[in-house]
Amino acid sequence: MRGLKLDQLRTFSEVIARGSFSAAADRLQLSQPAVSLQVRELEKRIGVRLIERVGKRATPTAAGIELLDHARKIEEAVSATLDGMAAHASGALGRVRIGTGATACIYLLPPILRDLRQRFPTLEITVRTGNTADMLKALEENRLDLGLVTLPAPGRMFAVTPLLEDAFVAVAAVDGEPLPRTVTPAVLAKRPLVLYEAGGNTRRVVDEWLARAGIALNPVMDLGNVEAIKELVGAGLGCAVLPEIAVRDAGRSSVRNDGQASPLVSRPLSPKLNRTLALVMRRDKILAKGLRETVKALRQIA
């Protein structure tokens, strides 16, 4: 039944609803012959009689009654489809799937997502966290729309926009063994370490920094959650090397931004260590308005 036309279904429904071809023609602003032609073509396409005349009134046959039910459902589906697409075209509605690490999700994304929600209340934003390799694979398979990840992000299909250079710092309990003003790999080699779990780019950056000093450390614990690491360090169970954005409330004064005492103290590393956070997308990704506005907002991180 290829070539079934929506206009013919609508005309058929109007004839039944109005009870005559002439009334349907007035409603549709068509000539009566045009209405009759559309009904005949529909009957020919389906292969059954759909309308019969009882006196002066047009009434549906048994097949017509069943088709009328289908036509109503089709009309509802078409209307919903057009409404949905119109919303996408206007940018009022859409879905954006973001992949990032836990640290960026906790410390960078909340104010950005809050602003987007205020400006685009019907924009659906979902966030998935994981290591860079997992995020890149999901981007490649189009299960994510964009990634905010730690470089490198290899792959010819990706467009990569560096956004932020984030320094690493050494972190310890404020009431524990004091850290020197700057912390070297040799200093950390003498202390128990709580590090990110192996496999992610953040852990790789730290391991390579230690390796350049000829030190290979076996951490007492490695975890995938930055807040868990901070809790364990604050409890005096070891030191950590963390991105500075994760411990901005653990400065030399050991006072958080909210005025409360922080259980952590941080010190810069020597030699310095940084990671680069970047926005990564497929080069062939279509930038619908919702995605375009999200990308624009994320670029303000730089």
Q: Are 27 and 18 in contact (CB under 8 A)?
A: yes
| DSSP strand pairing (94-100 vs 194-196) | unpaired
Which of 219, 215, 120, 233 has its CA nearest to residue 171?
Answer: 233
Give the per-residue pLDDT at 218.
80
Q: How does pLDDT run across 50-85, given as a tens digit for each residue?
A: 999 888 899 999 999 999 889 888 888 887 777 667
Does the pLDDT of residue 1 top 70, yes or no? no
Percentage of residues in the chain with pLDDT exceeding 90?
55
Which of 201, 172, 166 has its CA nearest to residue 187?
Answer: 172
Give the per-residue pLDDT at 170.
95
Average pLDDT value for residue range 112-131 = 91
Average pLDDT value for residue range 20-39 = 90
165-276 topology per CATH: D-Maltodextrin-Binding Protein; domain 2 (3.40.190)
pLDDT interval class at 280 (50, 70, 90): very high
Give the per-residue pLDDT at 63.
92
98-162+277-301 topology per CATH: D-Maltodextrin-Binding Protein; domain 2 (3.40.190)
Give the per-residue pLDDT at 88.
64
Does the pLDDT of residue 86 top 80, yes or no? no
Does the pLDDT of residue 261 top 70, yes or no? no
Q: Which CATH number fits domain 6-90: 1.10.10.10, 1.20.140.160, 1.20.1740.10, 3.30.1050.10?
A: 1.10.10.10
Which of 26, 5, 155 has its CA nearest to residue 71?
Answer: 5
Ramachandran quadrant class, 173 (left: phi over 0; alpha: psi -120 to 50; beta: rest):
beta
Nearest-angstrom CA–CA distance, 160 and 295: 12
Q: How does pLDDT run across 131-175, given as a tens digit for each residue?
A: 899 999 999 988 999 999 999 999 889 999 999 999 999 999 999
Q: Which residue has the tokens 């950390």?
A: 188
Nearest-angstrom CA–CA distance, 291 and 275: 25
Domain with CATH 3.40.190.10 in the chain: 98-162+277-301
